[in-house]
């Protein structure tokens, strides 16, 4: 065991620490964090509409739904300005944080990233109008001359310029494009700013005006570069780059995220890093947010619109079922200490940690026991969440429990978290209790073993 720890500490942990501090990944992580005010508001709107509209409708409570129409309508507006345009919001947040880590004007970076994202959106909307009867031949000719077309004899297909594909590009499905063009545009912008390829104004000019003029040349170069990429790609392939990114890069990665191997790997890495005192959630946040956070957004939008839920495992599934009480399911360690521990130091830490632990804040127990770099607790802090992930994966993939469709604030206590995250599925309560029991069973033997260790032997 000690040899393994030494090897990990020598070769793996330094690499993980460097990854966690890499400025582009830090900006990506902080970009996703920056969207939280909007995404949490949208999540609340989706959750409220589930209990005010969706469930009552299935129960036949039409009168109640009618009475709640004003609130349901307000929730719809909140969703429209948050989750429905999360890619737009993220483009701003990413641009701001990326410019910030390059130490150039963050506001200009946000504007550049937003413009780079929008220029790649499709600008034409296509609609189908199905008629109850077959269209006469002379009418088909008129429709074709007007720029439309007729399919199946009774369906009119037409398109118009000046409309963004709201559903396909501005929600979670546009996040990968926002990431790619956000990085391209803001990195170019920042490099040119740092190279002083700018318009310099006299000292007498107000700072806000001077910053705006200084950003003109770098912004123009960055945005024309993105425009050239979009134009060249569309001419060579005949399709918008955003659609290509979605179908070729995004969808395969999101489908890969639904495999048990991918889920287990991310859970293992998060907790291995935690054991060595590195905030595993933060280090892996770019992966968690980019891939599983994307599936989370698409699930929420589908749930709001009454569509089929596209993904069964999302970022909220980890929080609801895999690390209740914080990473490592340490809430059950605290419970096991209360039940089995005879050590006054452990019980003292547990007394101080139980309050924060209920709300998924586990730093007091992680560093107070400590779990970090404690050989005795290396196995349970990694094993418990991996086993819980396996149980939750089986339950969600087989349909025993509904998939997570609502992003619940991370400090929501266990059990309640799972119930709300699944849109009110009572079976999520059972899964949460089962996983808590599993964590307790895994932690208990190590707590009992700790009773045999003398206080002076504990580092």
Q: Which residues contact 267 (CB under 8 A, 6 or more apart)?
A: 318, 322, 385, 386, 389
Quote the CA–CA distance of 42 and 300 in Å, as a whole number: 9
Q: Which residues contact 344 (CB under 8 A, 6 or more apart)?
A: none
Residue 21 tokens, joined: 């501090």
- What are the φ/ψ torsions at residue 128 (nearest 5 degrees)? -115, 135
**Residue carrying structure tokens 């060249």:** 232
Q: Which residues contact 91 (CB under 8 A, 6 or more apart)?
A: 113, 114, 116, 117, 178, 181, 182
Residue 401 tokens, joined: 């429990």
Chain centroid, CA 391 distance in Å? 22
Q: Give me the count of residues in the chain.
A: 459
pTM for this structure?
0.79
Quote the CA–CA distance of 367 and 381 in Å, as a whole number: 13
Q: pLDDT, tens digit, for every residue of 143-179?
A: 776 667 777 667 777 776 667 777 778 888 888 899 9
Residue 31's Cβ-side half-sphere holds a number of Cα atoms within 13 Å equal to 39
Judged by DSSP in three states, 360 sits in: coil
- Do the Cβ atoms of 77 and 99 come closer than 8 Å? no
Q: pLDDT, tens digit, for every residue of 237-282?
A: 888 898 898 888 888 988 989 999 999 999 999 998 888 877 777 7
Q: What is the pLDDT along the chain (459 residues), one digit of tens a residue?
A: 556 556 656 656 676 667 667 888 889 888 988 888 888 888 888 888 888 888 888 778 889 989 999 999 999 999 899 888 989 999 999 999 999 999 999 999 999 999 999 998 887 777 777 776 777 777 777 777 666 777 766 777 777 666 777 777 888 888 889 999 999 999 999 999 999 998 888 877 788 888 888 889 999 999 999 999 999 999 998 888 988 988 888 889 889 899 999 999 999 999 988 888 777 777 788 888 888 988 998 999 888 888 899 999 999 999 999 988 888 899 999 999 999 998 888 899 899 889 888 988 888 888 888 888 788 888 899 999 999 999 999 999 999 999 999 888 888 899 999 999 998 899 999 999 999 999 999 999 999 988 877 654 444
What residue spans of 169-259 are helical by DSSP H? 175-194, 207-214, 216-237, 241-245, 251-256
- Do the Cβ atoms of 458 and 346 come closer than 8 Å? no
Alpha-carbon torsion (14, 15, 21, 26), positive or negative: negative
- Do the Cβ atoms of 300 and 358 come closer than 8 Å? no
């Amino acid at each position: 065991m000690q040899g393994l720890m030494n090897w990990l500490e020598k070769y793996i942990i330094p690499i993980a620490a460097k990854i966690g501090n890499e400025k582009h990944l830090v900006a990506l992580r902080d970009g996703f964090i920056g969207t939280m005010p909007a995404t949490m508001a949208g999540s609340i709107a989706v959750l409220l509409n589930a209990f005010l509209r969706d469930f009552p409708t299935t129960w036949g409570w039409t009168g109640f739904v009618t009475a709640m129409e004003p609130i349901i309508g307000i929730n719809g507006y909140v969703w429209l300005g948050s989750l429905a345009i999360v890619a737009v919001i993220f483009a701003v947040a990413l641009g701001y944080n990326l410019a910030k880590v390059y130490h150039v004007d963050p506001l200009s970076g946000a504007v550049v990233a937003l413009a780079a994202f929008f220029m790649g959106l499709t600008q034409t909307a296509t609609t189908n109008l199905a008629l109850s009867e077959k269209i006469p031949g002379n009418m088909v000719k008129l429709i074709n001359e007007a720029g439309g077309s007729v399919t199946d004899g009774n369906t009119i297909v037409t398109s118009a310029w000046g409309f963004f594909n709201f559903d396909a590009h501005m929600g979670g499905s546009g996040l990968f494009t926002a990431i790619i063009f956000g990085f391209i545009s803001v990195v170019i912008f920042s490099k040119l700013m740092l190279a002083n390829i700018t318009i310099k104004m006299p000292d007498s000019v107000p700072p806000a005006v001077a910053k705006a003029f200084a950003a003109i040349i770098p912004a123009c170069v960055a945005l024309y570069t993105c425009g050239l990429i979009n134009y060249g790609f569309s001419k060579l392939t005949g399709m918008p780059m955003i659609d290509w990114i979605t179908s070729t890069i995004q969808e395969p990665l999101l489908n890969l995220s639904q495999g048990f191997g991918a889920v287990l790997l991310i859970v293992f890495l998060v907790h291995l890093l935690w054991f060595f005192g590195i905030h595993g959630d933060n280090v892996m946040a770019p992966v968690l947010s980019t891939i599983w956070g994307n599936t989370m957004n698409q699930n929420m939008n589908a749930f709001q619109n009454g569509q089929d839920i596209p993904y069964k495992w999302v970022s909220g599934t980890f929080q609801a079922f895999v690390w209740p009480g914080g990473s490592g399911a340490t809430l059950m360690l605290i419970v096991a200490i209360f039940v089995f521990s005879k050590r006054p130091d452990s019980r003292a830490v547990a007394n101080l940690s139980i309050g924060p632990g209920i709300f998924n804040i586990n730093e007091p127990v992680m560093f107070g026991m400590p779990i970090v770099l404690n050989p005795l607790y290396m196995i349970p802090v990694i094993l418990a969440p991996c086993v819980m992930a396996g149980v939750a994966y089986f339950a969600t993939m087989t349909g025993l429990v509904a998939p997570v469709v609502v992003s619940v604030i991370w400090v929501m206590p266990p059990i309640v978290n799972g119930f709300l995250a699944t849109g009110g599925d009572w079976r999520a309560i059972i899964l949460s209790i089962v996983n808590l029991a599993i964590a307790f069973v895994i932690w208990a033997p190590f707590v009992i073993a700790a009773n045999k260790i003398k206080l002076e032997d504990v580092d």
